[in-house]
Amino acid sequence: MSVRHDKQQIVTFKAEPALVSAMEGIANRSEFIRAAILAALDGACPLCLGTGVLNAKQREHWQEFARNHTVERCRDCHEPRLVCAAEAP
């Protein structure tokens, strides 16, 4: 029985001096950056993947979805949310 270990890859990026300076006090910058990226990806729109723009095919899918769904404000927290018309009372 073999155990598979996925190799980690090194990813680099350029950062402005102000960002580098702000990160100086962080003990484990790699872990901090990984956590920040995962948090950002978790909050990204599942359709546009955080770009803020839909391509033609994504727009088609959204328009099909929007036929039976609306964007409404939550009565409790006042944030926008998707509401399925099929589930409406």
pLDDT at position 82, please? 93
pLDDT tens per residue, range 1-24: 566 678 889 999 999 999 999 999
pTM: 0.60
Contact 73, 83 (CB under 8 A): no
Structure tokens belonging to residue 62: 């959204």
The answer for residues whose C-beta is within 8 angstroms of residue 79's C-beta and 6 or more apart is 73
What's the mean pLDDT when you consider all of the chain? 90
pLDDT tens per residue, range 20-33: 999 999 999 999 99
